[in-house]
Amino acid sequence: MSAPSRLARIGLRTVALGYLAALLVVPLAMVFYRTFEDGFAAPWEAVTSPEGIHAFWMTIVCVGIAVPLNTIFGVACALVLVRQRFRGRLVVDSLISLPFAVSPVVIGLALFLVYAQGGWFAGIMESLGIQVIFALPGMVLATVFVSLPFVVREVQPVLIEIGTEQEEAASTLGANGWQTFWKVTLPAIRWGVTYGVVLATARALGEFGAVAVVSGKISGQTETLPLFVENEFNNFNVAGAYAAAIVLALLAVIVLVTVGWLRNRGVSGAPPAPQLNPAGPVEKEA
């Protein structure tokens, strides 16, 4: 005899599924329907327009630079936070979560203030001949900022779990730092890294607010796919907006499927539910 009656159970199930349907599933299905209701020609034309193609490549470039940088940083940062003891370690650990907590617009403003004329880093960039604001470097920086914590947060628990015995054994046998890292540490954390990379990619692909501030949203020049969606919509080219949204939604689905697959593999240290947006320091007992 289970606690709630069968009727109550079905009632709760109906409410839960109804809520998910009204908020999530039906609207998403509607996007697909609206995109293709007049056939495939219009949406295809929109995403293969010069601006659409350009926006697609801008997105790929931003993600292609930001995610590898954050992967290297993420692994190094996780190693520092888990394997080293220093004063202020927990403060640094908390600060890593900042990009999750800060509004994308504030992130954009922060980069704008530092790199626009009169900003702290403006002089250096000017002498290097790099235009950051309203140009690609600013968009890449914004993407790096928003996707910074993912790899760190996924690798940290795995590092805690695997412990240091094998690394110490390798050191004792004469392996240097890099040999130990490539042969022992990296293979042990590889699924944690993969997890982090997938989540960081999803976030980087879809970033809107931060990139909108620093890019200036110049069509055909500094427009990523999410910005293209907004631009098309505001120009009453709804078919184009839907089509680009579908491209982004499909990428999101690919991410979800990958995450599910990784979860089923039993990525070591990964919780039963993916920590898609973990906040706060990972300082729980191993």
User: What is the SS3 assignment for 226?
Assistant: helix
Q: Are 215 and 224 in contact (CB under 8 A)?
A: yes
Please state, in angstroms and rounded to a whole number, the distance separating the CA atoms of residues 10 and 8: 5
Shortest gap between Cβ of 44 and other proteins (angstroms)?
18
Q: Which of 15, 53, 130, 218 binds other proteins (CB under 8 A)?
A: 15
User: What is the SS3 assignment for 237?
Assistant: coil
60 binds other proteins (CB under 8 A): no
Range 206-245, binding other proteins (CB under 8 A): 206-209, 212-213, 225-227, 229-230, 233, 241-242, 245
Shortest gap between Cβ of 152 and other proteins (angstroms)?
9
Please state, in angstroms and rounded to a whole number, the distance separating the CA atoms of residues 99 and 247: 25
Q: Which of 39, 120, 128, 236 binds other proteins (CB under 8 A)?
A: 120
Residue 118, amino acid: G
Shortest gap between Cβ of 40 and other proteins (angstroms)?
18
Structure-token match 């191993």, residue found: 286
Q: Which of 38, 68, 131, 177 binds other proteins (CB under 8 A)?
A: 177
Range 28-57, binding other proteins (CB under 8 A): 28, 30-31, 33-34
Range 136-155, binding other proteins (CB under 8 A): 141, 144-145, 148
Backbone dihedral region of 176: left (phi > 0), alpha (psi from -120 to 50 degrees) or beta? Answer: beta
Q: Which of 53, 60, 106, 218 binds other proteins (CB under 8 A)?
A: 106
Shortest gap between Cβ of 234 and other proteins (angstroms)?
8
First to last CA, the chain: 37
Range 252-271, binding other proteins (CB under 8 A): 252-253, 255-257, 259-260, 271
Which CB sits closer to other proteins, 23 or 60?
Answer: 23
Q: In degrees rounded to 5, what are phi and psi of residue 132?
A: -95, -55
User: What is the SS3 assignment for 260?
Assistant: helix
Tokens for 94, please give them: 């908390």
Residue 125, amino acid: M
Shortest gap between Cβ of 28 and other proteins (angstroms)?
6
Shortest gap between Cβ of 266 and other proteins (angstroms)?
15
